[in-house]
Chains A and B, each alone.
Chain A
Amino acid sequence: MASTIHFELVTPERLLVSEEVDEVMAPGYLGEFGVLPEHTHYLTILSIGVMSYRVGGETFKIALGGGFAEVTPEKVVIMADVAERAEEIDLERARQAFERAEAAVKELSLDDHTYQKAYAALQRAMVRMAAAD
């Protein structure tokens, strides 16, 4: 049994991670899931949330803005709409974005067509703050 699994994280704008890891955790459609080497074939939509992966004893956190994941026994590929490593996130800016998004959501009514968008922006801002912490 392979002891590590290859993990790749790509976004439309860049290839963020490509390395051998021990474990990957990500927010799936039906809740958080973990992937260890030799995982069965699995394809899921990802929700907005914080994902992490572990190499040895070290865990790295990444803020995900939705996407999907394909898992095979040897490989995990996450295709995110947007993704940022926790270290890259500027907490101050994330907080400002959060406040802006919150204000926007409060102003819009539920059936406004931009509501979904504003709400997603709010969620992303929350996730970025959570990842940076």
Chain B
Amino acid sequence: MANLRAIRKRISSVKSTQQITKAMKMVSAAKLRRSQDAITAARPYARKLREVVQALAGKAGPEAHMLLAVREVKKLALLVVTSDRGLCGGFNSALLRTVQRFLRENSGNYEQVSVFVVGRKGRDFFRRREIAITKEYVNVLGSLSYFNAETMAHDLVDGFKNGAFDEVQIAYNEFRSAIAQTPRFEKLFPISVVEGSGPAEGESDIDYIYEPGRNQILASLLPKYLEMQIFRSLLESVAGEHGARMSAMDSATRNAKEMISSLTLQMNRARQATITKELSEIVSGSESLKG
């Protein structure tokens, strides 16, 4: 029979764990709501920017700007967006597993893959596996701002410009709902333009007055477009992280509850057993004295 005191200790320790997971779940829920709001707030800008960039690039053609020029892809850059903190279920491992599979399967297709990583979890993952990291962005997700996306876009565009890589992809957790995130790969640039996209028929004839020239505007918009793509992915990843943590903490709280009730049962049984044993000892003791 398990020791009564040991069981009591176990119960109180599980109880305090439960308190923590419960609090973490609540915090994540609040943060999730906030990051969802941020995604919604970024949407009008992203939509408009895409509209204008597609329209301009459609008119200008792929020769107009370096970021539109498709070249033969020998070297790839991959921006992997993970989280800084753990305790969020399979959020990071699902993404990193996909990335690792991608790297393994495509090692023959590319001469070289440079890995850029966001988040401490991703960094540690690659370090442990001794995969070279070109650049890491750690501890930026807690107070994410547009500026962070700007820095990343800048680094990536620089490498693209001086030929360190020919294509840039981003791997992140797409935010589907509070409980569902899916790893996703997206091509960041060169930016593909849908031919003839942009304004609807009839409207496309109207030529704008461009100030300065059309291509100059395009040149200043394309990096912004890129920044916005990265920013959106970061926001989605952050929202996904909170969602994943929320559900992980929810099930942890539930598990703790189950454990407490089974331990309580065990404890009561143990107590009952001790009482029975003591009673029978007393009874048999007095019986023998009578003897």
Knowing A10-B48, A13-B38, A14-B41, the reply to whether A45 touches B211 (Cβ < 8 A) is yes
Q: Is the CB of A30 within 8 A of B45?
A: no
Q: How far is the CB of A66 from chain B (nearest CB, A)?
A: 9
* Interface hit among A36-44, A55-63, A93-101: A36-44
- Give the distance to chain A from B43, nearest Cβ to Cβ, in Å: 9
CB-based contact A12/B211 at 8 Å? no
Taking CB atoms, residues of chain A closer than 8 Å to B52 are 43, 68, 70, 79
Tally of chain B residues near chain A (CB < 8 A): 29
A30-B212 contact in complex given A10-B45, A11-B45, A15-B44, C-beta closer than 8 Å: yes
Bound CA span A111–B190, Å: 29
A44 touches B42 (CB 8 A): no
Min Cβ gap B216→A in Å is 8
Quick check: is A118 within 8 A (CB to CB) of the other chain? Answer: no
Report Cα–Cα, A41/B212, bound state, in Å: 14
Bound-state CA distance A43–B214 (Å) is 8
Q: Which of B197-249 contact A (CB under 8 A)?
A: 206-212, 214, 216-217, 220-221, 224, 227-228, 231
B49 within 8 A of A: yes
Residues on B with C-beta less than 8 A from A40 are 209
**A1-36 interface code vs B (CB 8 A; 1 in, 0 out):** 000000010111111000000000000111000000
In the complex the two chains form, what is the Cα distance from A45 to B214 in whole Å?
10
- A12-B146 in contact (CB<8A): yes
Whether the pair B208, A12 counts as a contact (CB closer than 8 A) is no
A-B pair count, CB < 8 Å, reads: 66
CA distance in complex: A107, B157 (Å): 28
> Of A41, A68, A77, which is within 8 A of B207 by CB?
A41
Nearest chain A CB to B152's CB is how many angstroms away? 14
B208 engages A68 (CB within 8 Å): no
Nearest Cβ on chain A to B220's Cβ, whole angstroms: 6
Contact A42 B231 (CB under 8 A): no
B211 touches A79 (CB 8 A): no
B54 CB → nearest A CB, Å = 13
Beyond A12-B146, A12-B231, whether A29 also contacts B211 by CB under 8 A is yes
A10 to chain B: which residues have CB within 8 Å? 44-45, 48
For residue A70, which residue of chain B has the nearest CB? B52
Asked whether B217 lies within 8 Å of A44 as measured between CB atoms, the reply is: yes
B146 and A42 form a contact (CB under 8 A): no
Residues of A within 8 Å of B206, CB to CB, are: 41
In Å, the complex CA distance between A14 and B145 comes to 12
User: Considering the chains assembled together, what is the distance between the CA atoms of A73 and B236 in angstroms?
Assistant: 35
* Chain A neighbourhood of B220, CB < 8 A: 45, 68
Contact between B208 and A42, CB atoms less than 8 A apart? yes
Whether B211 contacts A42 by the Cβ 8 Å rule is yes
Q: Are A44 and B41 in contact (CB under 8 A)?
A: no
Residues on the A chain within 8 Å of B224, using CB: 81
Closest to B212 in A: A29
- Cα separation A82 to B49 with both chains bound (whole Å): 15
A116–B211 alpha-carbon span in the complex (Å): 22
Partner of B209, one of A15, A42, A45, A77: A42
Residue of B nearest to A28 (CB): B211
Select from chain A the residue with minimum beta-carbon distance to B228: A12
With a cutoff of 8 Å between Cβ atoms, the chain A residues found around residue B38 in the complex are 13
| B208 and A43 contacting across the interface, CB-CB below 8 Å | yes
Q: Specify which chain A residues have a CB less than 8 angstroms from the CB of B149 in the assembled complex.
A: 12
Chain B residues positioned under 8 Å from A43 (CB to CB): 52, 56, 208-211, 214, 217
Report how far A30 CA is from B217 CA in the complex, Å.
Answer: 13
What mask results when residues 61 to 95 of chain A are scored 1 for a CB within 8 Å of chain B, else 0? 00000001010000001010110000000000000
Name the residue of chain B whose CB is nearest to the CB of A42.
Answer: B209
Residues of A whose CB lies within 8 Å of any CB of B are 8, 10-15, 28-30, 40-45, 68, 70, 77, 79, 81-82
